[in-house]
Structure 1
Amino acid sequence: MTSDSTYPQAARPRGHDFQQRPLLSVEARVLGTLMEKARTVPDSYPLTLNALVTGCNQKSSREPVMHLAEAQVLEALEALRSLHMVVEGSGSRVTRYEHNFPRAAGVPEQSAVLLGMLMLRGPQTAGELRLNTERWYKFLDLASVDGFLEELQDRSPEKGGPLVVKLPRAPGAREQRWTHLLCGPVDTAALASSPQASAATEDDLIALTRRLAALENTVAGLQDQLQNLNEQLGLSQPGQR
């Protein structure tokens, strides 16, 4: 996992500027995608704009699925740059982008990983988060995931206030889910009763999540390989001009 020391010093924020306003959903998707690719495909990171658009519009490992245009992603990148969350890479013929989230948000890497996964995949239980982040960071146990989530929930006003909230237990569910607050306050009651809430047992959920994660990882890996090949050959992605 990348340490904080590798993030650009020039992008160090002043007073957690992002707390001045909530992120838009498109900004959260762009940011989460950069955070994901930094850990899962480091050889092709920082990302080109084409690769970032493709990553944002993935049909796997995304909730909700989005269909963002290049102009929307560029607008989000510019906004995130103003918040010190994204910087442009240098030393390449093509502009590349990388995130600066841990420094901008003032959180440790483990907390950043959990927030990134929540931005990409919506509300999840601590168990789901631990499984879904295995390619990003291997948490020691479920208690450590809970610990970082609770720290984010109990964050003091001086540090910008809570960044996650624990949702009420949904009817028939054994575990409570968490959601992020980077896009502003949420309707916890509505999220808790949403169709995403699962009534399956934790053992069933773990088994299903592991199988789904393996399939998603395979698909994402193939997409990244195709993206890299197209860039090397100077080809555009299907559906892009």
Structure 2
Amino acid sequence: MRSLTPIEARVLGTLMEKARTVPDSYPLSLNAVVAGCNQKSSRDPVMAVSDPEAQEALDELKRLSLAIESGGSRVARWEHNVPRALGIPDQSAALIGLLLLRGPQTAGELRINTERWHRFADISSVEAFLVELEERAEAKGGPLVVRLPRAPGAREQRWAHLLCGPVAMAMAPEAAPLAAPGAGPDLRQRVEQLEDEVAALRAALQSLQEQLGLSRLGQAQ
């Protein structure tokens, strides 16, 4: 399967989300798909998908067997076909859907955000399904997710989907190297300014102590 475009990924993620969160109005009409794609909440990044763009994406997803068009009504309705098309269980599909809509997340974040999609028992169960997706055999199409380098100060690694192709490792910033003494004039100027301010504060404190007749702040001579 070819890599999806960002709009195709957003449309697919929207179909997957609404199947779980608003089953009474599912499958979705084109208008509902567009509204879901352009939500301001639970979306990263926020997008502005037009009707023609959404329709083109739906047609392409149908060609890739990732979406199905339902007949029998005046308005065409659409549903996703991810578990069958990719050969993955519903639990894994829920994780993929969240990554499509919200971008890279930790296993803990995924467990919380999938609450309305699938209730995982604990973080370990989320990680188990992520590892399965990461180690998916090439004969089945290869990995569907990748773990990103741990961000500075973070306890957990984030995960990203691969349906849009390889992920730039820059999505998880690495620890910035410590600045060398000659790192740059701006840094040196700021350090010197801070040192001057500290020296001025010390001098002012010493002067105040002398005026109050104190040899040490809080103690009389």
TM over 0.5: yes
Identity over aligned pairs, percent:
67
Whichever residue aligns with residue 94 of structure 1, its letter is: V
Q: 2:162 aligns to what?
A: 181
Whichever residue aligns with residue 159 of structure 1, its letter is: K
Q: 1:152 aligns to what?
A: 133
Q: 1:164 aligns to what?
A: 145
- Cα deviation for residue 186 of structure 1 reads 1.0
In the alignment, the residues of structure 2 paired with residue 82 and residue 192 of structure 1 have an alpha-carbon distance, to the nearest angstrom, of: 33
1:193 partnered with 2:152: no
In the alignment, the residues of structure 2 paired with residue 95 and residue 155 of structure 1 have an alpha-carbon distance, to the nearest angstrom, of: 34
In the alignment, the residues of structure 2 paired with residue 113 and residue 87 of structure 1 have an alpha-carbon distance, to the nearest angstrom, of: 18
> Superposed, which structure 2 residues align to 1:1-241 within 5 Å?
19=1, 21-188=2-169, 190-193=170-173
- Cα deviation for residue 47 of structure 1 reads 0.4
In the alignment, the residues of structure 2 paired with residue 126 and residue 173 of structure 1 have an alpha-carbon distance, to the nearest angstrom, of: 13
In the alignment, the residues of structure 2 paired with residue 74 and residue 120 of structure 1 have an alpha-carbon distance, to the nearest angstrom, of: 18
In the alignment, the residues of structure 2 paired with residue 156 and residue 30 of structure 1 have an alpha-carbon distance, to the nearest angstrom, of: 26
Gap regions ≥5 residues in structure 1: 1-18, 195-241
TM-score by length of 2: 0.77
Whichever residue aligns with residue 45 of structure 1, its letter is: Y
- Cα deviation for residue 91 of structure 1 reads 2.1
Moved over 6 A (4+): none
Instruction: Please give the per-residue CA displacement for 1:175-230, whole angstroms capped at 9, x wherever unaligned.
Output: 11000000000111x01119xxxxxxxxxxxxxxxxxxxxxxxxxxxxxxxxxxxx
- Cα deviation for residue 140 of structure 1 reads 1.2
Q: Counterpart of 1:81 in 2: which secondary structure?
A: helix
In the alignment, the residues of structure 1 paired with residue 89 and residue 52 of structure 2 have an alpha-carbon distance, to the nearest angstrom, of: 31
Q: Counterpart of 1:88 in 2: which secondary structure?
A: strand
In the alignment, the residues of structure 2 paired with residue 118 and residue 129 of structure 1 have an alpha-carbon distance, to the nearest angstrom, of: 8
TM-score by length of 1: 0.71
In the alignment, the residues of structure 2 paired with residue 92 and residue 78 of structure 1 have an alpha-carbon distance, to the nearest angstrom, of: 18
Q: Counterpart of 1:107 in 2: which secondary structure?
A: coil
- Looking at CA atoms only, which structure, 1 or 2, has the larger radius of gyration? 2
Q: Counterpart of 1:161 in 2: which secondary structure?
A: coil
Give the aligned CA root-mean-square deviation in angstroms. 0.9
Gap regions ≥5 residues in structure 2: 175-221
Q: Count residues with an aligned counterpart.
A: 174
In the alignment, the residues of structure 2 paired with residue 32 and residue 39 of structure 1 have an alpha-carbon distance, to the nearest angstrom, of: 11
In the alignment, the residues of structure 1 paired with residue 58 and residue 89 of structure 2 have an alpha-carbon distance, to the nearest angstrom, of: 23
